[in-house]
């Protein structure tokens, strides 16, 4: 993948970490412009949010923080349709040698997968945990 030896960690259908080997140490990434288009690669980590509204709120918070510290870099990606899903994301870079891709996916009604990863309140997790026999 991407002409590198890679390892993808996928704990479930919604989360992953892609590790790509290189002979060179990570360097701070270049600026990402709108002209780069949707198919570009930069070193990044993904943060999957529960909703598109949560992504929008985080983007607004990043814009506010950027007013105080111009080292924060952002690239907004408009809402995109991929088949039966809407995707919303933005890229944010601050101090570390990689970007974060903050994203959420909303499936059209009746098209969501039957199982998906999500955070749950501790009480909810205890209620849904299998009971030992």
Average pLDDT of the residues of the chain = 79
Q: At 120, phi and psi to the nearest 5?
A: -135, 150
Instruction: Please report, for residues 38, 84, 88, the alpha-carbon distance to residue 79 in angstroms, rounded to integers and kept in the order given.
Output: 12, 13, 5
Residue 22 has pLDDT above 80, yes or no: no
The more confidently predicted of residues 19 and 60 is 60
Can you tell me the mean pLDDT for 118-131?
Answer: 60
Q: How far is CA 111 from CA 10, 78, 86, in A?
A: 22, 22, 12
Please tell me the distance from the alpha carbon of residue 47 to that of residue 29, in angstroms, as a whole number. 18
How many alpha carbons lie under 13 Å from residue 59 in its C-beta half-sphere? 21
* Span 72-114, pLDDT tens digits: 999 898 899 989 999 999 999 998 888 899 999 998 988 877 7
Given a cut of 90, whether residue 18 has pLDDT beyond it is no
Q: Mapping DSSP to helix (H, G, I), strand (E, B) and coil, where does residue 74 land?
A: strand
């Amino acid at each position: 993948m991407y002409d590198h030896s890679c390892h993808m960690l996928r704990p479930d259908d919604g989360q992953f970490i892609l590790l790509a080997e290189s002979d060179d140490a990570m360097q701070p990434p270049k600026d990402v412009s709108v002209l780069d288009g949707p198919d570009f690669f930069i070193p990044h980590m993904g943060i999957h949010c529960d909703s598109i509204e949560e992504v929008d709120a985080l983007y607004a918070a990043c814009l506010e923080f950027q007013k105080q510290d111009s080292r924060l870099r952002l690239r907004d990606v408009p809402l995109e349709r991929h088949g039966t899903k809407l995707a919303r994301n933005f890229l944010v870079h601050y101090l570390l040698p990689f970007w974060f891709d903050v994203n959420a996916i909303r499936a059209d009604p009746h098209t969501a997968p039957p199982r998906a990863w999500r955070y749950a309140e501790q009480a909810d997790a205890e209620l849904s945990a299998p009971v030992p026999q």
